[in-house]
Amino acid sequence: CRNASPLLSSVTWKRSCVCCWRESRRLEIMVCLRLQKRLAASVLNCGKKKIWLDPNEVNDIAVANSRQNIRKLVKDGYILKKAQTIHSRSRVNRLHEAKRKGRHTGPGKRKGTREARLPEKLVWMRRMRVLRRLLKKYREAEKIDRHMYHDLYMRAKGNQYRNKTHLMEFIWKAKAEKRRLEVLENQAKARRAKAKALKNRRAERKVRKLEGGADVKAESK
């Protein structure tokens, strides 16, 4: 640097060199392209750091003061949008795959208590939402009636079902038991009707027998 003194320290000398370089650069270009960069960022829908301005076409870019002119420069290739910086997730994916297998999850990797890492309330809410969603789905599909829905809803609220499969098995068993009771009830009704019909026939036969005996006695007299 021409303006830097040889008596300055190395850090101060470097700073002065940078300042002198910036000043010379500013004097060399003698234009401010902040407006053009802002308009280009708006047109290309990205941040100002993603905008590239062609250093060989500074004069043409400096004249552009509207979005229409910026679009023309973009079309000509004087203003470009920089490519997206690649941020690979391969290492993260490998780590997550290993954690799914149970690696890297020992006591040394855990921070916070068990309740802090996965609160019981959150587990409860998730389980209740799953069970209630299933009950609502079954009720709308008419697989269960509203009375059974209410009974199962209150049972789920009372922490009777461990998970969705447990609830489904209970519903299957309850419906099978209900069908069995209906069959037994129908059989009992049929037996009662049959017994009643038999009783009526016996009563009629008895009445006819009594009436026939009375007729015979009347004729003999």
Q: What is the pLDDT of residues 39-98, one digit of tens each?
A: 999 999 999 999 999 988 888 999 999 999 999 999 999 999 999 889 999 999 999 999
Task: Between 24 and 125, name the one with better pLDDT.
Answer: 125
d(CA 57, CA 50) in angstroms, rounded, equals 18
pLDDT of residue 18: 54
Handedness of CA 15, 20, 23, 25 (dihedral sign): negative
**Band of the pLDDT at 17, cuts 50, 70, 90?**
low
**pLDDT band at residue 13 using 50, 70 and 90 as cut-offs:** very low
Please count the residues of the chain: 221
Asked whether residue 2 carries a pLDDT value surpassing 80, the answer given is: no
Alpha carbons 41 and 50: distance in angstroms, whole number = 8
Instruction: Please say whether the beta carbons of 73 and 64 come within 8 A.
Output: yes
Task: Read off the pTM.
Answer: 0.54
Q: What confidence category does residue 121 fall into, taking pLDDT thresholds of 50, 70 and 90?
A: very high
Q: Please report the pLDDT score of residue 94 as a whole number.
A: 97
In DSSP terms, 79 is beta-bridged to: 53
